[in-house]
Structure 1
């Protein structure tokens, strides 16, 4: 699927995947580390839901920089509901086709809404992998999502420099026979 045409269907597919993973979250895992090393599971869930609210705010006409990339504390058993509220908001915010052409302000620049939302496809898909490593390492993740996210990452994120304004670590090596999620994680600086 080419997210330059309309990223909304693939973003909804990424949210479907997140919903399944959030349903597997249990309170006893909240302080476990994640592959996104700056976050434990609780902080990563907050960042992930916050990112959905952030791109919803962009769809509503705001600048992503004006809202935090996390949400207020959520009870350990209330993450699926928090994700559900964010999903309703983002779906409503991006329902108008004209928003795909409107210039949007996101952390990586000002660009047409379709490209801004495409970046959040990469974000939601990557964090699905991060979350799955903690809550359901055996889960079969949607390979198509990872293919789309990896294509976005390779087109938009330089291999060098990383860090600072490019909030990813250096590209990590991945085995030659690695699946697409492992390649995506490695491209975004996760040790795989």
Structure 2
């Protein structure tokens, strides 16, 4: 019975986020570009919080995370250029509002947020955009295990990405973008300049 309830709840949330995503992209055309951006270890300095878990729960933990200023500025630049930015993160569905609050608190309240159950589920959203002939820039470190001292990559996802016509910014590109600035969890200063130096990695 518990398993059935879990399946129903997960299916309901999945449908909710797919609905939100479709509303987000419904007015886009072939000339538009969508930036799909991961949060944990891409925009948020997440893994140290798993190494030293001193939080009441995950909502509390997510709210305490520092943000990478370089990636934040990179994203704001795209929003200002009128490109569509969608955050897509493999987090528990019940962390939706705490994630929204964190993004808003870091000056990113004009974006869309999608949560998925597993990292691999992000591929469905990428495929949806490609089927609509919309250009995709996918920014995701696609790594895990930092807190255990052994970083691993989602190899199957990377292999799949290699077959898709997307522009993928992975670990090296993310580190380059973020290396220009320190992290911050004390609010954002308006006079921080935009990050201009980054590498685009075209996956073909």
Q: Per the shorter chain, which TM-score range?
A: under 0.3
**Greater helix proportion:** 1
**Greater strand proportion:** 2
TM-score (norm 1): 0.26
